[in-house]
Amino acid sequence: MKHQETQQRREKIVRNLKVRQELGQGLDEAQAMLNAYLKERGMNHTPERDYILWVIYHLDVPFDVDSLHKLVCEEKALICRVTVYNNLLLFVEAGVVARFQPFVNGSQFFEKCVGQKPHGYQVCRRCGAIKVLSLSEILPHVEEQVHKSFHTSQICLYALGLCNNCYKEERHDVKLKQLAMKLEKENRANARLKKPTSRRKKRYTSIKEVIRDQELQALKEKRKKN
């Protein structure tokens, strides 16, 4: 049940991403950083890798692996999910993509991070809706707190919670659960009341009843013998 719920929520979070041609800011710099990273480590330069990076830098929202894989498949059907995921991890290592985990179930989100304006997120932990927040006003204060000798690659700010719809849904779920618990408790109490009466020894109210029971008993024993 729990797994099914998580699966449903995951499916809800997989969003339809769209490549936006007018974007692409920071891509040249990110590609150069990636190339240098690969060269230093003697790793291969592949067209798939460059393509995935190109797609990422043409999105305007953070994304999860499944959404990105779905998009990449729609555009270029040959790349498998594992390749997409492994490349994402490599991009994070190379410092061209940032990763964050706003959800309790551990779903990971990624986004381009080279040449981007500092920003924060408002994330709904139920449906995964993400709204980008501008940090231009508060950022100078945050930067003041970061140590001068620290090499910052990303500053993040999340507002985690529930969107209005999910808040209503969650309250509804809680109420249903409470109702179910109350019913179960009542059923258990009823069952407890019934049991002793069935177990209790029969009480006779007249001598006739005793005789009738004795006769019945004798009849049963006679039948057994035959």
Is 156 a binding residue for Zn ion by CB under 5 A? The answer is: no
Span near Zn ion by CB under 5 A; candidates 12-20, 63-71, 123-131, 140-148: 123-131
- Scanning 43-51, 73-81, 161-169, 181-189 for contacts with Zn ion by CB under 5 A, the matching segment is 161-169
* Contact indicator for 95, 153 with CB cutoff of 8 Å: yes
The answer to whether residue 166 forms part of the interface with Zn ion (CB under 5 A) is yes
Please state, in angstroms and rounded to a whole number, the distance separating the CA atoms of residues 31 and 128.
29
| Rounded distance between C-alpha atoms, residue 70 and residue 53, angstroms | 15
Which C-beta is closer to Zn ion: that of 132 or that of 166? 166
Within 13 Å, how many C-alpha atoms sit on residue 24's CB side? 7
Q: Is 34 in the site for Zn ion (CB under 5 A)?
A: no
Question: Rounded to 5 degrees, what are φ and ψ at 56?
Answer: -55, -40
Rounded CA separation 125/225 (Å): 73
Which residue number, 57 or 63, has a Cβ lying nearer to Zn ion?
A: 63
Q: Which stretch binds Zn ion (CB under 5 A): 1-9, 130-138, 159-167, 198-206?
A: 159-167
Pick the stretch among 93-101, 124-132, 142-150, 151-159 that binds Zn ion (CB under 5 A): 124-132
Nearest distance in Å: CB 168, Zn ion: 10
Residue 113 and residue 154 in contact, taking contact as beta carbons nearer than 8 Å? yes
Taking CB under 5 A as the criterion, the residue among 61, 127, 135, 142 binding Zn ion is 127
Contact status: 124 vs Zn ion (CB under 5 A): yes
DSSP letter string over 48-111? HHHHHHHHHTT-SS-B-HHHHHHHHHHH-TT--HHHHHHHHHHHHHHTSEEEE--STT---EEE
When binding is defined by CB under 5 A, the residue of 64, 113, 126, 130 that contacts Zn ion is: 126
φ, ψ of residue 178 to 5 degrees: the values are -65, -40
**Using the rule CB under 5 A, is 163 a contact of Zn ion?**
yes
Which residues fall within 8 angstroms of residue 48, CB to CB, at 6 or more apart? 78, 79, 83, 87
Least distance CB 126 / Zn ion (angstroms): 5
Backbone angles phi, psi at 200, to 5 degrees: -55, 145
Smallest distance from Zn ion to CB 140, Å: 31
Q: Supply the minimum distance, in Å, between the C-beta of residue 165 and Zn ion.
A: 6
Minimal distance, residue 11 CB to Zn ion, in Å = 14
Residues that bind Zn ion (CB under 5 A): 124, 126-127, 129, 163, 166
